[in-house]
Amino acid sequence: MSLDRILDSIDHLLSNLDKSVNDLLWHAKLFIPILAISMALLVIVLISMCIAQIYISRKKSHRYRQMALRSSQEKYIDIANPNNDHTVPENLQPRDL
């Protein structure tokens, strides 16, 4: 192989490499903004999901507190005002002999 042929082949490879790098940079200029927008949307969705979970958790906690308070008040009412419905029927009461 002659030196001229080797130099031509190196020049051809470098020009192809330059063209490939330019194409890659053009595609990167197109791809990077799309990737950035996608990541921003993903972050927004994840933050909104976290906020929704916190809201639901607080709402459930508030409802549970209300239910527990209502339950404790009902127990208090039951103790304070006993019903007479729990009396023993006459046929089951002990008889004097």
Look over the chain and give the mean of its residue pLDDT values, rounded to a whole number.
83
**Mean pLDDT computed over 67-96:** 67
| pTM passes above 0.85 | no
**Mean pLDDT computed over 17-38:** 90
What pLDDT is stored for residue 71 in this prediction?
78
Is the pLDDT reported for residue 14 higher than 60?
yes
Six-digit token string for 31: 């791809």
What pLDDT is stored for residue 64 in this prediction?
87
CA distances from 19 to 7, 10, 22, 27, 30 (A): 18, 14, 5, 12, 17
Q: How many CB atoms lie within 10 A of CB 27?
A: 10
CA distances from 59 to 45, 55, 66, 71 (A): 21, 6, 11, 18
